[in-house]
Amino acid sequence: MVSQVIPIPSYLYVTCLIQNCSDKMVTAQFLGKIDHNSLLVQDDYIFVKVTTGNRTKHYVSYRRNEFVQMRFPKYALPKDVQIVSTDENQVFLALQEWYQSDTYNLYQSDPQGVYYSIVLENVRSTKQPEENVLIDILEVRGIKGVFLANQKIDNLSGDSHHL
């Protein structure tokens, strides 16, 4: 039996001035490598996830400026983060905390996407094939910034909420 170690791809986000962009002038913005498939460009925002050791940090760049670590309330310990919307000059995201298995909490940000506050807890979610997650939230067509969400309440089947 032959065992083979398959390297996990890792990525760096590098910057340089266009007039002097050589290997010597390139700088990396993060201490660790960017997680595979974590780069998301949406409207004025760029999102990345960086894991070093067993610690994961989420970063945002607003209008292509420097990346800044996203700041969640101190009690929030994110296991997964899904961007829901970047309309209305704010980020609306779903964050799954370490203790949640089939729900996410919804958060909204300041205009730069750095500071977050909770909007609604325990929104239902389902795991799809290939590790995709479907969060039970729907934007009302024609009314930007208005969503319907299916919230899990104790042992009840769920109620829809207007955000």
What whole-number distance in Å separates Cα of residue 124 and Cα of residue 116?
20
Closest CA to 94 of 75, 74, 114, 116: 116
CA-based torsion, 23, 24, 25, 27: positive or negative: positive
What are the backbone angles phi and psi of residue 18, rounded to the nearest 5°? -60, -30
Name the pTM for this structure: 0.79
- Strand ranges (E), the chain: 14-15, 27-28, 33-34, 40-42, 45-52, 55-62, 68-69, 78-85, 92-97, 103-109, 116-127, 133-135, 137-139, 147-151, 159-162
What whole-number distance in Å separates Cα of residue 86 and Cα of residue 93?
9
pLDDT for position 51: 87
Are 110 and 117 a contacting pair, CB within 8 Å? no
Closest CA to 119 of 109, 106, 104, 110: 106
Q: 58 versus 7: which is more confidently predicted?
A: 58
What are the backbone angles phi and psi of residue 159, rounded to the nearest 5°? -125, 150
Q: 30 versus 34: which is more confidently predicted?
A: 34
What whole-number distance in Å separates Cα of residue 43 and Cα of residue 123?
25
User: What would the pLDDT profile of 94-121 be if each residue is shown by its tens digit?
Assistant: 999 999 999 999 999 999 999 999 999 9
What are the backbone angles phi and psi of residue 20, rounded to the nearest 5°? -140, 60
Q: 92 versus 36: which is more confidently predicted?
A: 92
Six token digits for residue 82? 């899904």
User: What would the pLDDT profile of 121-139 be if each residue is shown by its tens digit?
Assistant: 999 999 887 778 889 999 8
